[in-house]
Chain A
Amino acid sequence: MAGLRNRSYYLVLFLLGISVLSIALHQSGHLRPVEGFLLQFSTPVAEVTSSLAYRVLEAGRAFQELGSLREENQRLRQENAELRAKAIAAQEAQIENRDLREQLGFKEANPVFDTLPAQIISRDPSNLLDFLIINKGAADGVKEGMVAVSPEGLLGRVILAGSNSAKVLLVTSPSSSVGAMVQSSRAVGMVYGQQGGRLTMRYIPQGEAIAVGDLVITSGLGGAFPKGLVIGKVVKVRQRDVELFQEAEVAPPVNVGRLETLALIRNFAPARLE
């Protein structure tokens, strides 16, 4: 009996030892190929179960929303009419903008991104970090550092590319930081991910105008992300005269938990600062 107990303790210690060794190897980067291979191995199963989970959830949601559909339809028709009018005005402004740029000899500020659509097949199961796994990998041209976006704005960047799948680190992850600026005032700062899917913009110089509702976009500084991608909207400003910088809480434009697909920007290569 005592022998069995001793053996159990040894096995527990052995398993804990392997875990510590794995952490050390991960930190030194020696496990990267193995992790890529194992990620590959889990992709097909994750793809099937994730699509099944979506279908079940969508069916439940559709059932819940049946009652409010008529009101929603009415509201959307009205919104559509308003947006059509705005789109015409925007089109006019775009033509005027293009003409002015041509006159000034400027290049297009926002080149059209060449994107690679990908399906989200798995999400970070932990509550501490924010990652996604997508069904496109190195075989589809995915490289580490590629920027992931949704129609609403910036999502994150690829940190590990297996042959048919890749891991995307979301901007809301605590280990993520993005060079940012407030669209209206052009005040620059850094947006950091926070636990619980929050974003904080730090290092905004005192005296810069920043208000609740302002749009925060990527500044392009640092070279990891292209300029002009929407990061979120300011929901709270923390300004104290005794501090060097202001801080703002930023709400991401998209609920990543509800996203099914994303796009990777193919024609933007992150700068390598060495």
Chain B
Amino acid sequence: MPVALLFLIALQLQTAAAPLVTLMGLKPQFVAALVVSLGFLYGPLAGATWGFAGGLALDLLSGVPLGVSSFALTAVGAIWGHVAAGLKSPGWLVLALATFPALVAYDTLVALWLQGLGWPLSLGFSLVHVALPGAILSALPVPFNYYILRWLEERSRRFEVRSWD
């Protein structure tokens, strides 16, 4: 439930606030960054499920054909969750460093889909001018995601222990 609330906040930030706080015309990708964090901390299943939900919501609120962002975020959430499963308690720095290629992969996948569907997008421009700088910008809130998610995890564990008592 708290993760769902965090997810809704990220979604609202993405649609209402992100377009107002652009840097060099680029918007931070709050939802994508949160999905990567969820996959990284809770595994590929959580990454894929939240990636699918987040991507679908982004598709509905953007002009991207329904299914494009959900495909890209499901894949990225699942793959990064799988990669992180091999790491022992990754810290926020590892998460931030892993988020960067994840977000580049996400934007590239979306651009590839759009190009495949006949949208006049330049893949080179998308990678150099959108995906790479956008990923740096979007990786910035990752430490916050990390600590909030860790705090939520601790809180729910404590709650479970108390319920057993």
Contacts and interface: CB of A to CB of B under 8 A. Distances in A.
A96 to B, nearest CB: 43
Contact of B70 (A19, A45, A50, A123): A19
Interface residues on A, range: 35 or more
B38 interface: no
A49 B20 contact: no
A150 interface: no
Interface residues on B, range: 35 or more
18 contacts: A11-B45, A11-B48, A19-B55, A23-B67, A26-B65, A27-B117, A46-B15, A50-B16, A53-B16, A124-B19, A127-B26, A128-B64, A128-B110, A128-B121, A128-B130, A131-B62, A175-B119, A195-B121
Interface stretch (A31-39, A69-77, A111-119): A31-39
B62 A12 contact: no
A3 interface: no
Nearest to A175: B119
Contacts of A131: 62-63
A159 B26 contact: no
A126 B58 contact: yes
A15 B58 CA distance: 16
A18 interface: yes
A169 interface: yes
Interface in B1-46: 12, 14-22, 25-27, 29, 31, 43-45
A133 interface: yes
Interface in A5-44: 8, 11-12, 15-16, 18-27, 31, 35, 38-39, 42
Interface of A: 8, 11-12, 15-16, 18-27, 31, 35, 38-39, 42, 45-46, 49-50, 52-54, 56-57, 122-131, 133, 159, 167, 169, 173-175, 192, 195-197, 257-258
Contact of B31 (A57, A125, A133, A192): A125
Contacts of B62: 124-126, 129, 131
B114 A125 contact: no
Contact of B45 (A8, A130, A159): A8
Interface in B59-74: 59-71, 74
Contact of A125 (B19, B21, B51, B119): B19
Contact of A127 (B49, B59, B107, B117): B107
B71 A23 contact: yes
Contacts of B31: 125
A26 B15 contact: no
Given A46-B15, A49-B15, A128-B110, A15 B67 contact: no
Contacts of A24: 67
B93 to A, nearest CB: 25
Given A19-B55, A126-B27, A127-B27, 16 more contacts: A19-B67, A21-B67, A23-B66, A23-B117, A24-B67, A25-B67, A26-B66, A27-B117, A42-B60, A46-B61, A49-B12, A123-B19, A125-B18, A127-B130, A174-B119, A196-B125
Residue among B61, B119, B121 with most chain A CB within 10 A: B61
Given A53-B17, A126-B69, A257-B20, A12 B48 contact: yes
